[in-house]
Amino acid sequence: MTPLALKLLPFLSWRERITRDTMRADVVAGLVGALVVLPQAVAYATLAGMPPEYGLYCAMLPVVVAALWGSSWHQVSGPTNTISLAIFAMMAPLASPGSPTYVNLVLTLALMIGLMQLAMGLARLGTLVNFISHTVVVGFTAGAGLLIMAAQIQNFFGIPIPAGSDFIATLQEAVTHAAGADPWIVATSAVTLAAALAARRLLPRIPYMIVAMIAGSVFAYGLAVFGQASVPTIGTLPREFPPLSLPSFDPAVWRSLAPAALALTTLALAQAVSVARTVAARSGQRIDGNQEFIGQGLSNIVGAFASGYPSSGSFNRVWVNFEAGAKTPLAAVFSAAFLLAIVLAVAPLGAHLPLAVMAALLVIVAWGLIDVAAVRRIVRAGRGETLVLVVTFMSTLLLQLEFAILLGVLTSLFVYLNRTTHPQLTPVAPDGPSTRRHFVPVGESRAPECPQLAMLRVDGSLYFGAVEHVRDVLHDARLSGPRRRHLLLIGSGINFIDVAGAELLVHEAMTEREAGGALYLCTIKPGVLDVLMRGGYLDRIGRDCYFESKAEAIHAIYARLDADRCRTCTARIFTECQSVLPDGSERVA
């Protein structure tokens, strides 16, 4: 395949992954995904102020386009809770929800969002996803898992929860109305959970979700037959193909919708890419952010003309897809096809699929999002990563998802900047007299420090943000050893230097010279050395003060030390100290 063909038809890049086994797994995952999206699509469309059938249409053709033109093997786009809430909040002041005018505005909004997403992908702005660190993904995923569980409380227990309630309000309502939970709905949920857990353990070759769906539905049907209770179901579904639609092209309408389109573009991309990155961390896949942007953009553009509404990657359905064993994006295609078949042929059966069954399955999926082992590793890694994890996790629970990601990224950048602005300067000494010149931190060395030469190993970049910290450390080093007038910086750990960092070295070299000593550099990386040479900084420091190796540096610096002080020194930490003094005379034992 030519590069151009792969750019235009990116789904050709994974055609070799399709085998009989993967096809079978994708068909099963697609069927499970279609059954899961049924109640969600209707609920989310209602939440967005759209007619219920628009949620189903949004889970058909847009899903296929996003899967084929995206980069994730497991991404499943369509209607989502967050996007639906945002649409209602932004569009309700402009028109009456559910009215033809409202629907047309939402379709137009989908087109605008799709065009913006496509433009960002073509402009190769997908690298923005690299700022979402693994720790942010873990915290965001864990928080999303709890949000999904909270969203299922109403259907799992039969407790009334006001629409649009946040996490805290949902928990409060659940506690307040706990005594009013419907025992038969709870029983249906419990049977579904038990069947899922048993099937996962005892029947590993059979998709546990399908087993659980059948078990829960049969149990609820039995309750109805024997007159015990009537468990709520998803209800009757419309039977029709997604009709064509036409968004508005009125410039005045586009101007009025521009702020909402920009905000929802950011939200939808952040959610879709976060979902793709999260599942990729489990599957070991590499995500192309640019291609993901393009896939989401084309998906929303198509949705605007196929009676959809703004869509994005769905945490619920992506993890259902992954847990059901999906191997390629064909699983999402099969999901849309099965959904269409259900809507056209077996829509009445939707009346027998209990909401409690769907809630129980989503609880299992949500629990799988909480990676306890990864959380423990992050906590053990250090306080900085723990801070990022906690901020992202709490923001996901208490704020909107796009703000949670933003805060997580900003916290990651803050921790990174704090780390880079404090490069490590470690005092080192030889690990005993040896020609190998193996230096270790002073506390670990078998030899004492040289009374005339201070040696510091620099680990980190010398740039404008780190200058003050490095200057303070060097100042403290001079105060702690005022008689050590020579300073050697071992620069093998310096990865980058800018003008401010180079000027700092020049200033420190002049300070050491004024005190009767010198600043020396050794083992500098080629890129750093090139900056020092091209800017003339090495000449100002002194070319005779730069050495390619530690052995060369120690040998040359030793000859410049004060011989009289060496005569009274008993440390003899360098091999040069053993027999010859800096002035060339023999050392008296």
Q: What is the largest CA-CA distance in the chain?
A: 109
Q: In the β-sheet with 486-493, what is the strand arrangement from edge to edge?
A: 439-441, 424-430, 453-459, 486-493, 518-522, 546-547
Q: Which residues pair with 490 in a beta bridge?
A: 457, 522
Q: How far apart are CA 417 and CA 415, in angstroms?
A: 6
Q: Which amino acid is at 295?
A: G
Residue of 559, 120, 79 lying closest to 316 (CA atoms): 79
381 φ, ψ (degrees, to nearest 5): -70, -30
Burial state string for 112-146 with b = 16 or more CB within 10 A and e = fewer than 16: bbbbbbbebbeeeebeebeebbbbbbbbbbbbbbb
The pLDDT of residue 29: 92
69 and 298 Cβ atoms separated by less than 8 Å: yes
Return the HEC string of 524-576.
CCHHHHHHHHHCCHHHHHCHHHEECCHHHHHHHHHCCCCHHHHHHCCCCCCHH
What pLDDT score was predicted for residue 278? 81
Structure token pair of residue 305: 């003309």
pLDDT at 254: 96
Taking the C-alpha atoms of residue 539 and residue 559, their distance in angstroms, rounded to an integer, is 21
Rounded Cα distance between 26 and 10, Å, is: 19
Strand 518-522 relative to strand 546-547, pairing = parallel
pLDDT at 588: 66
Short-list 265, 319, 283, CA closest to 90:
265
pLDDT the model gives residue 434: 57
Tell me which DSSP letter residue 307 carries.
T
HEC sequence for 386-425:
HHHHHHHHHHHHHCCHHHHHHHHHHHHHHHHHHHHCCCEE
Contact 354, 233 (CB under 8 A): yes
pLDDT tens profile 127-180: 776 677 888 888 887 888 888 788 888 889 988 888 667 889 889 989 988 888
DSSP, collapsed to helix, strand or coil, labels residue 430 as: strand
- Can you tell me the distance from the alpha carbon of 351 to that of 319, in angstroms, rounded to the nearest whole number? 25
* Nearest in space to 148 (alpha carbons), one of 355, 401, 367, 326: 367
Beta strands 486-493 and 518-522, pairing class: parallel
At 125 the pLDDT is 84
Below-70 pLDDT ranges, the chain: 1, 129-130, 163-164, 207, 236-237, 346-351, 401-402, 432-436, 445, 447, 588-589
Residue 516: helix, strand or coil by DSSP?
coil
Helices 289-305 and 251-283 cross at an angle (nearest 10°) of 130
pTM beyond 0.75: the answer is no
Say if CB 186 and CB 220 are below 8 A apart.
Answer: no
CA atoms of 309 and 77, how far apart (whole Å): 12
C-alpha distance from residue 158 to each of 151, 172, 186, 574 (Å) = 12, 15, 7, 79
Strands 77-78 vs 439-441: parallel, antiparallel or unpaired:
unpaired
Tell me the residue type at 491. Answer: G
Burial readout 360-397 (b: 16 or more C-beta within 10 A, e: otherwise) = bbbbbbbeebbbeebbeebeeeeebbbebbbbbbebbb
DSSP for 33-53 reads HHHHHHHHHHHHHHHTTS-HH
